[in-house]
Structure 1
Amino acid sequence: MNKLVLTSLAMAAVVGSFNAQATLTSIRNCEVTPAAIQITSIQKQSAGSTPILLPSGTAVPSDCLGVYNDKTVYPSGVYSFGSGANSNLGWKDTSFLNSTSLFGPYGAFVDQSDLQDLKDEGVFVDPGWIFVGKLDLDTGKYESGTVKRAGYDSYTFEKGIIDITGVTSGTWTYTPPKYNPQTLMDILGANKFFDQAAVIFKGGNDYAIYNFSLKDLLLDPVVGTDDENYMFSGTWDMSKVLKTPNGKNPAGLSHVSLWLRDPSFVTQVQVPEPATVAILGLGLLGLRLRRKH
């Protein structure tokens, strides 16, 4: 039985530790509302597949981290990305969302129970966030994330995984590889795709970070390399979230970035048919992030 993989969008990286004094202070609440960002349809990538349409407000973010305006971290720090032998692997303090100085003791959107031993050293300290891609709406340029691990071939995510239209509101699509790439699975030491997705919207000097959890959406990650991934599409509206420097008018979206969380190895289990998932999704409005154990 195919499993659904969720991922909707988040942001670029800094390889290397952040200074312990670095902190992020929210200037406004980001508000998890149907208008901010939501999933409206899920669809397999096979030719002729029918989209599963979700009612408005049923597939909203699990959480958000507020609106930030911190030039010491963003954009120069967030978008610098290292090219070392071990990079973009979700290790503690090795990139933006994994920073424990910026996002508390466990990184962004994770609790202590979510931490993983991604270095295979017997220490569960790693948040697991991996940079996938960034779309610059001003230039149309797309930057793909690359995962590198010593002893393995590197893997670069396909261009165009994120696509978005609009200035202060519009639509978005997430199109992952049709099947989980074996090279990526080998590097991560996993048998499944990601269990959480974080998306960062940037407009003016502001940026807001949102999180989607497969568990909150009653979806399991796709397991192995023969299970077909799903495409997701939805709407977004940052007109009440991102502001111009005067703090009054909405700022046009300049770019959006996607991060995915590397989950631990799991045994494949059966999940509901897509139609059943859509029905279950009706009760999701207002759910907050529940962590995987």
Structure 2
Amino acid sequence: MKQLIKVCSLALLAFTLNANAGHMKDCSTESFALDRIETLDSNDNLLNGYNFNASDCRGVFDTVDWVADGLFDPYTYNNIGELGDGLLNGQNGFFSGMEFIEQEDLQDLDNDGNATDPGWIHLGKTVWDTDDNNETYYAEAGKQEAITLDIGDLLTLTFNYDCDNWFLQTCPNNTVGTWELATKLDVIDQAQSLLGEATFDHLAFSVNTASKFAVYDFDFKEIFELVNTDKNDPNYVNFNTPYVLGGTFGMGDFPVHFFGADIGDKEPVHINIWARDPAATEVPEPSSILLLSLALIGLTFRSLRNS
């Protein structure tokens, strides 16, 4: 019955979308939150009572991200963070690559002698079907390099967003979903024994409905200056430990209006997940920033290109 109602509502959905086609609203950083960091062998939350909204966001845009960056699939060409390769690196000119970083954060990943590369690596894409089930497809990094890494070998991404969507693919206002990023300890240990330490300093979520998207960014350099207050604390978030990150998200930036009335929030159709791999010189003190361990990818290909 639920499926039948969804199908029958498509005509009304198209009418609603066309009526709002020229509108763009400001996103809210409160739509995405980080509320836990755990080690892989403990459920103790290391955030010391803090909950963090996204550090910044862009949108809501009246298109979807795969149209914005001009790529259908895959979403990036080489995927090591080079300028023009992927949405957050300025692919297709929709973004400049500087939306969430500063000029001094740029790197020379293509070894052309100029620090112009933003450093964003596409981790994967989670897609919802019409029955509210979702599946994550992991990206590859270094597609044009000597070695290609499957991101799914390094981490697991999990999203849950379940609602009783009764009309126009709409969820009740304030429906809350959850997200989790967990690194895989065995792969991390092997990679670190070869490559050494590495971090990501940003994590971004590009959230899409059927016709709109917004991007929500977490800046860990800012976040962990607040969390790490005592270096002697055994729970001090450090540079050498793989973690599980988790939080919540809502779709309040994507309201559904029916004949002028706000009747709820749109469902997510897909979410693309990005992380930024900083240059080693951007991390002044290893113990001052969260280890996501994912930037092993970037270091791999940087080492290969310079060897």
**How far, CA to CA, are the matches of 1:150 and 1:53 in structure 2?**
38
- State how far apart, in whole Å, the 2-side matches of 1:99 and 1:185 are: 33
Is 1:153 aligned to residue 147 of structure 2? yes
Report if the CA contact (8 A) 1:32-1:60 is conserved. Answer: yes
Asked if the contact 1:203–1:243 (Cα under 8 Å) also holds between the matched residues in 2, the reply is: no
Supply the distance in 1 between the matched residues of 2:102 and 2:66 (Cα, whole angstroms): 23
Residue 77 in structure 1 maps to residue 70 in structure 2: yes
AA at the equivalent of 1:175: A
Give per-residue Cα distances to partners, 1:51-103, cap 9 Å, x unaligned: 335547x311110002112259537835422786xx11110011111116212
CA RMSD of aligned residues (A): 3.5
Q: How does 1:110-259 map to 2 (within 5 A)?
A: 110-138=101-129, 140-148=134-142, 150=144, 152-158=146-152, 161-167=156-162, 168-178=175-185, 180=188, 191-218=197-224, 223=239, 227-238=240-251, 240-244=252-256, 248=262, 249-259=264-274
Contact 1:41–1:54 at 8 Å: present in 2 too? no
1:32 aligns with 2:29: yes
Pick closer, same or farther for the CA change 1:40–1:250 going to 2, 3 Å: same
CA-CA distance at 1:42 after TM superposition? 0.9
Give the residue type in structure 2 aligned to 1:165.
N
In the alignment, structure 2 segments of 5+ residues that lack a partner are 1-21, 163-174, 229-236, 291-307
Out of 54, 62, 65, which is 1:61 matched to?
54
Is the 1:185–1:192 Cα contact (8 Å) retained in structure 2?
no
Q: Would you say 1:260 and 2:266 are equivalent positions? A: no
2:115 and 2:257 map into 1 onto residues whose CA distance is 41
Instruction: Give 1:29's aligned amino acid.
Output: D
- Structure number with larger C-alpha Rg: 2
Q: What is the CA distance between 1:39 and its match in structure 2?
A: 1.3
Alignment of 1:14-53 (within 5 A): 27-33=24-30, 36-46=31-41, 48-52=42-46
Q: Is 2:287 the counterpart of 1:271?
A: yes
Between the aligned partners of 2:289 and 2:120, the Cα distance in structure 1 is 29
Which structure carries more helix by proportion?
2
Query: For residues 112 and 229 of structure 1, do their structure 2 counterparts lie closer, same or farther at Cα, with a shift above 3 Å needed?
Result: same
Q: Deviations over 1:188-227 (max 9, x none)?
A: x88413111111112231211000011111269965xxx2
Question: Letter of the aligned partner of 2:243 in structure 1?
Answer: Y
Tell me the secondary structure at the aligned position of residue 199 of structure 1.
Answer: strand
Change in 2 beyond 3 A, CA 1:71/1:198:
closer
Report if the CA contact (8 A) 2:203-2:219 is conserved.
Answer: yes
If each structure's strand is expressed as a fraction of its own residues, which one has the higher value? Answer: 2
Could you say what secondary structure the match of 2:184 adopts?
coil
Deviations 1:166-189 (A, max 9, x none): 244222111123364766998xx8
Mean CA deviation greater in 245-254 or 203-212: 245-254
TM-score normalized by structure 2? 0.65
Superposed counterparts of 1:99-118, under 5 Å: 99=90, 101-104=93-96, 106-118=97-109
Give the TM-score, by structure 1 length. 0.68
- Distance, in Å, in 2 between the alignment partners of 1:137 and 1:190 is 36
Unaligned 5+ runs, structure 1: 1-24, 275-293
Q: CA deviation at 1:237?
A: 1.5
How many residues are matched? Answer: 237
Identity %: 22
Q: Quick one: distance in 2 between partners of 1:91 and 1:184?
A: 23
Partners of 1:49 and 1:172 lie apart in 2 by: 16
SS of 1:158's equivalent in the other structure is: helix
